[in-house]
Chains A and B, each alone.
Chain A
Amino acid sequence: MKKNRPLLIIEDSDEDFEVTCWALNKIGFTHPIVRATHCEEVLLLLLSGTTPADWNNLLPCLVLLDLNLPRMNGLQFLRDLRVIKSPPAIPIVVVSTSNNPSDVSTSYSLGAAGYLCKPLSLDSYVEKLRYLTHYWFDAVTLPE
């Protein structure tokens, strides 16, 4: 896999984005990280088939999706993505503060590839992200 394929984080909170970047850096994650604050912009990009320059003109290798977003929320994004004719082959992992069982099951039923509940402690968050990157970048094969 191209090392310059970006990891896309859809997250409206600046603080949360900062902490996630910090944690990924801590575990030595090397892919470029790009951010979107609204689902709508991502959906438009994916629909148009164009990839912007700051994505290195490449589709993201993985998407970390927050659920609680203004306007279109994460669940609606997953739902809308499913009705696209040829959805991009990108796994989407939900990363949310919500531990509501209905959010978890709805996410999976809408095609989420995983659900990570953000813990309170930074250490646990780092641990969880370590497992997540191990799994997606060492254990499984992602599409080119």
Chain B
Amino acid sequence: MSEANINPTQSEAPPHITAKNVDLNNCDREQIHLVNAIQPHGVLLVLNESTLSIIQVSANTESFLGLSPAAMIGQTIDCLLDNENVAALRSQLATKNLADGFSHLLTVSCVHTNERFHLFGNRIDELLLLEFERPNDTEQFSDNNHFLRLNATIQQLRGSTSLLQFIGIVVDQIRDWTGFERVMVYRFDTDGCGEVVAESKSPDLETYLDLHYPASDIPAPARRLFMLSPLRHLPDVDYLPVPLIPENPPLLNGRSVDLSYSFLRSVSVMYSGYLRNMGAKATLVLPLMKDGELWGLISCLHHSTPKYMPYESRIPVEFLAKIVSQMMNDKEKMDHYSYRYQLDQSLHQLAAALERFETFEQALVLGKTNLLTTLDAQGAVLIINGKLNLLGKTPTEQQVGLLVVWLAQQDGLVFSTRRLPHDFPLAQTFKVIASGVLSMRFSRANSDGIIWFRPEEQQEVSWAGNPNKPVEFIEEGQEIRLTPRTSFALWKEYSQGQSRLWLTCELEYAKQLRQVISYIIVNRISLLTQINAELERSNAELEAFAYVVSHDLKEPLRGIHNFAELIKIENDVPSPEKRLQRIETILSLANRMDNLLESLLKYSRIGLSELDLQSTHIGNLVSQSIDVLKKANPEMGVTFNIQPTLPIMNCDRMRVEIIFHNLILNAIKYNDKAKKTVEIGCNTSVNPAEFYVRDNGIGIPADYHEHIFQLFRRLHGSDEFGGGNGTGLTTAQKAIKRHGGRIWMESSENVGSTFYFTLAPDLISNKEVMQ
């Protein structure tokens, strides 16, 4: 409640505030439920349930029941009801749940007047409260009529396509049903402020539609009571409260009976005063619940006369309000449907842009779809590596900088407020632009993230009708305070530095965008980690490679050097044969070096040029490879078995030739059998296809299966088996890896070896994906 319009509060408030001492400053604490008085349209009895003896009654018993309070107190219920009714009452008490509110128990006849009453009961604080109300004898609605009418209304509500339309139907229908002159739906914000969102009224009345109210207009205790009772009815604003007698019954030990659920309970004087100021003579109020929370109120006002709604007429309205509550959730969802759809679209576009563009700034700020495209905000800031990218109407960079520091201290990665200047006083200076803030940080590690700004709401709220046209009702000697118009002024004051509420779907949008971005960040980090790991491995490989190469090249070089030195040293010792022998050695070492360098060059070329994929007939390719080998070695005497159905593959022809050349060469070379055979084939029943080259040669001991693919690794002396230099398999392996394939082998000594390889990456099996 704002101080501006209201007198200063008393410094010491009494512990209990009741109708006797309440004013505008303390009505928030008024104990409305302990009011100890009721409205005059019924009778309240407080009983001891086990004995059904009467402890306390409302002072108006005589006019209803024909017995004075004095004649009833201390008696049992038998003083009012005949045996049959008492027995029926007892059986109702035994079976009905009376703890959560007043329930209709039965209709009874009073023994003294023979008048019929509806009897309601509530069990609270170990007391039994009974309320007597007169039935409706004038209007006659049959149950069937009610049912048909309800059904029609529900059909109509179902057909509504927006929350506003839905609520519009509700107010029209209820006005039609009840005959109240004005029916409004009043919606609470999270902070207790309210707004009239729908209204149905007789044409001569001033509209209250779109008026905003401060939270103090319907204070927290009142909101609680509205939630507890399915319906509150005040038939006559100018009623005289009926006290409970005796005021302090000895059995209650000075306590007031809790009338929280009482239908007859006397209302707060502030409430009746307010209604009087509005010119209302009677009201009926029903809560609208959503997800167990008080969402709003259906408020019915009658302005011309008092208006009493008997039980029979209240029931269907109450029922309707409950159904409306049930339907609220779906309707509210529907209301933002198109907005949510557009947010979804934007999210997808931003996600696509994030995939496409290199920087977040390009994707989120500079693109056609940006952070402000759909989200209802006027400005946004993208913070990347601490650098601010401003978009739309935002505070200055310096102001945003301060805000970023403050936001980083808030809990949660997604944060929103509609009252930034109240939460963060430094924001006072830029509240016009940024009273509302929705922000998200990508991670807890730093303040990188996105902030959206919403302007102060007052700049936006449109006033329905002329704001200067007074609607205050001035009563003699009374201050003009509690009227809708002054309430609006109060609300305006309260809503200084406040923006429109952030919707659930907007928070959801921010959360989802955050997820998309963190997913991309994580992906980028893991890609970077992967590249780094690959780089490290390739660096290590390169280092190892350099050592291997330098070692293997140095060996013959050192030999050349040494033998040349020997010739030089032995110059004075004439031995032409020895000298010639030394020179031969040098020449052979030089040849070996040349051979090594040539192989190295081949090896490195495999990795250098781009893969030149083309459709290749592998059968032809193998035949050509064998022809080349036969030409170089006409008398090798090998039987080749080539599978006739070798496939056509999309591969790099030059590299695949190298693979087959090296594998076939090895198959021939390392073979000491009299009948050498080499078998070449392919298993196309698997994917990728597996090629193989099989020989009946010397085989490879299991210990060395791992080593054979290492560069310059030989399993035999440099002169054995035609002198290999240990590059063949390494080269073949490199050519295979260049295709994404792999090479492996099976071998047993003296039986033969089979080398298998593929020319495409292995498909990841489902099992591995699961893992």
Contacts and interface: CB of A to CB of B under 8 A. Distances in A.
Interface of A: 12-13, 15-16, 19, 22, 37, 68, 70-72, 96-100, 103, 118-123, 125
Contact of B551 (A70, A71, A97, A122): A97
Contacts of B551: 68, 96-100
B557 A68 contact: no
Interface of B: 544, 547, 550-552, 554-555, 557-559, 561-563, 565-566, 569, 585, 589, 701, 703-704, 712, 714-718, 720
21 contacts: A13-B559, A16-B555, A19-B559, A19-B563, A19-B566, A68-B551, A68-B552, A68-B555, A70-B714, A70-B715, A70-B720, A71-B704, A96-B551, A97-B551, A99-B547, A100-B547, A119-B558, A120-B554, A120-B557, A121-B565, A122-B562
Nearest to A37: B717
A70 B717 contact: yes
Contacts of B585: 15
Question: What 6 A-B pairs come out closest when comparing CB atoms?
Answer: A100-B547, A122-B565, A15-B559, A70-B714, A19-B562, A98-B551
A15 B563 contact: yes
Given A15-B585, A70-B714, A71-B715, A121 B561 contact: yes
B716 A70 contact: yes
A97 B566 contact: no
B714 A97 contact: no
A22 B703 CA distance: 35
A50 B704 CA distance: 27
Nearest to B716: A70
Contacts of B712: 68
A97 B552 CA distance: 8
Nearest to A100: B547
A21 to B, nearest CB: 12
Given A16-B559, A120-B557, A71 B565 contact: no
Contacts of A19: 559, 562-563, 566
B391 to A, nearest CB: 55
Q: Is the interface of A mostly helix, strand, loop or mixed?
A: loop
Nearest to A125: B562
Contacts of B554: 97, 120
Contacts of A13: 555, 559, 718
A121 B544 CA distance: 25
Contacts of A12: 717-718
A105 to B, nearest CB: 13
A120 B561 contact: yes
Given A97-B551, A100-B547, A120 B558 contact: yes
A22 B567 CA distance: 12
A22 B559 CA distance: 13
A12 B726 CA distance: 15
A74 to B, nearest CB: 12
A72 B717 CA distance: 11
A22 B566 contact: yes
Contacts of A97: 551, 554-555, 558
Nearest to B589: A15
A103 B561 CA distance: 24
Contacts of A120: 554, 557-558, 561
Nearest to B554: A97
A104 to B, nearest CB: 11
A36 B704 CA distance: 20
Contacts of A96: 551
Given A19-B559, A103-B547, 18 more contacts: A15-B585, A15-B589, A16-B555, A16-B558, A19-B562, A70-B718, A71-B715, A71-B716, A96-B551, A98-B547, A98-B551, A100-B551, A119-B558, A120-B554, A120-B557, A120-B561, A121-B561, A123-B565
Nearest to A26: B569
A54 B555 CA distance: 28
Contacts of B565: 121-123
Nearest to B714: A70
A72 B557 CA distance: 24
Nearest to B550: A99
A22 to B, nearest CB: 7
Nearest to B720: A70
Contacts of B715: 70-71
A15 B585 CA distance: 8
